[in-house]
A and B are shown apart, each in its own frame.
Chain A
Amino acid sequence: MKSLKATGHQLAEPAFQLTVLRQEVVDTLHLPFFHEKLREASLFPLAPVAPAVLQVNVGKMCNQVCKHCHVDAGPDRKEIMTRATMQLCLDALAQADIPTVDLTGGAPEMNPDFRWFVEQLHALGRHIIVRCNLTIIVANKKYHDLPEFFKAHGVEMVSSLPFYTAAKTDSQRGDGVFDDSIRALKMLNAVGYGQEGTGLVLNLVYNPAGAFLPGSQKGLQEQFKRMLFKDHGIVFNSLFAITNIPVSRYLDYLIESGNYAGYMEKLVNAFNPVAAAGVMCRNTISVSWDGYLYDCDFNQMLDLKVASPVRHLRDFDAATLAERAVVVNQHCYGCTAGSGSSCGGTTA
């Protein structure tokens, strides 16, 4: 499977995705505009709070090609953050009190300067989260020591596992991904991740393998814990239930399968003002591989840069960024449905 970009698909273009989301293509679908919903909830314009997370997308290269990927990541994607841009991140962190750095991709570990960056962030004393797809750990011998590396730098692991069975996991993430993920989870458990008393945090991410919303995070977590331990002896800390956002390959899946309108209606009907007040974009600054700034990783993939004179790391200024309003669009319904959704799970 190739990325949308590699196949020349029109949905690889952020501008075209936005025309679909703004209902300029499907004129039979009439959904309220997200900013109007926010206005009704007295949340528009959406103001940021003090930034708690700098989420850095270090590149779109990945060893997997998942069907739902909002990044359109894959082995054929060559966009990768340079060490110079990583240095700009470090410079920004040195002047801003942002306690957590969340590294994502693609598979962030495939960036040749990934380990250097983690070492620098660790030296700065920041809490580091790595969004690891698990399979990268077993993909090549050079990655087999990643669990030890993560442990040495106190990294919090956040790893996708859409289900505790192979069929559903592989249907979303590719053949063999479940078995490789189980192997990687066992390696992480072996160095102490997810084990009580070690302080090494291993969180899993559940996102539905289809056109439906996630159920109760608590119920899913109980079920995942029971089944992963029973079938594989695997332990982990928390499960984050995340809603699939209609962007890029997931948007393509929705349209291809005839689920687009129904899914968007579900999201709109499930709009929850409490979840809207707690969206992650209010306390997150997202950085792209080339150093531009966004309110979240989804806006990044839609090329919706921050509404601020500061749009690139080289001009980083926390005070100026604090004056911006968060950029919203129709895909934002994904984070405000039901119990809400963020990179850390539910928000309401």
Chain B
Amino acid sequence: MSDNLLTVPSRTYPSCSPSASRLPVEKTYYNPADLAQFGNVTEWQADMGRKFFDYYGEVFKDGALSEREKALIALAVAHAVQCPFCIDAYTTDSMQKGADEAQMMEAVPVAAATKGGAALVHGVQVMNKAQEQSM
């Protein structure tokens, strides 16, 4: 039995270790555990790092938009930029701020529609170019 299994007489629990699902780091560019290390990126450029995270903290504060609305925007952006760290973080953050599944899954198609639209709108360029070169 693996060390990661917590066993009691009545049942066997699934893994309790955050490292259990982690692939060897050299086998993947994305390691879920790196999310928790995000703050450490300031180590080699402390001044710039501090300024970035100060700004970051300020951006997500309650203002004209609520913290929940901002978390949902960030969740949509996370999908647009396809950042697994951001999707992980902002799914949790959206839930913490009181968003439910329906709200989160309305945010994601906003990203899909915007990205899809961004591709499709270039079709006008195709039409323009094609017409320019046509008789």
Contacts and interface: CB of A to CB of B under 8 A. Distances in A.
Interface of A: 7-11, 16, 20, 25-29, 163, 165, 167-168, 206, 208, 210, 212-216, 218-220, 222-224, 255-258, 260-262, 265, 269
Contacts of A261: 16-18
Contacts of B20: 28, 258
Contact of A258 (B16, B67, B93, B95): B16
Interface in B8-22: 8-10, 13-20
Majority secondary structure of chain B interface residues (helix, strand, loop or mixed) = loop
A219 B62 contact: yes
B3 A27 contact: yes
B105 to A, nearest CB: 13
A9 B4 CA distance: 20
A260 B16 contact: yes
Contacts of B102: 165
B66 interface: yes
Residue of B93, B96, B101 with most chain A CB atoms under a 10 A cut-off: B96
Contacts of B100: 163, 165, 167-168
A268 to B, nearest CB: 11
Interface string B48-76: 00000000000000100011100000000
Residue of B10, B16, B18 with most chain A CB atoms under a 10 A cut-off: B16
Nearest to B61: A216
B98 A220 contact: yes
A265 B66 contact: no
B6 A255 contact: yes
Contacts of B36: 265, 269
Nearest to A26: B16
A163 to B, nearest CB: 7
The 8 closest A-B pairs by CB, nearest first: A215-B97, A215-B96, A10-B8, A28-B17, A260-B16, A261-B18, A255-B13, A26-B16
Contacts of A16: 8
Contacts of B19: 28
A258 B3 contact: no
Given A9-B10, A165-B100, A215 B67 contact: yes
Given A8-B10, A28-B3, A212-B92, A219 B18 contact: no
Contact of A215 (B9, B10, B16, B98): B98
Contacts of A163: 100
Contacts of A8: 10
A9 to B, nearest CB: 6
B6 A258 contact: no
Contact of A26 (B17, B67, B92, B97): B17
Contact of B6 (A26, A214, A215): A26
Given A9-B10, A168-B100, A214-B96, A219 B16 contact: no
Contacts of A29: 16-17
Contacts of A213: 96
B98 A223 contact: yes
Nearest to A220: B98
A29 B17 CA distance: 7
A255 B95 contact: no
A9 B11 CA distance: 9
15 contacts: A10-B10, A27-B3, A28-B4, A28-B20, A163-B100, A167-B100, A208-B95, A213-B96, A215-B98, A223-B66, A223-B98, A256-B13, A257-B14, A258-B14, A258-B15
B6 A20 contact: yes
B71 to A, nearest CB: 8
Contacts of A25: 6
B96 A208 contact: yes
Contacts of A9: 8, 10
Nearest to A227: B98
Nearest to A265: B18
A28 B10 CA distance: 22
Nearest to A163: B100
Contacts of B18: 261-262, 265
A7 B11 CA distance: 12
Contacts of B4: 26, 28
A8 B10 CA distance: 8
B97 A10 contact: no
Contact of B9 (A10, A165, A219, A220): A10
A269 B38 CA distance: 14
A186 B98 CA distance: 23
Contacts of B13: 255-256
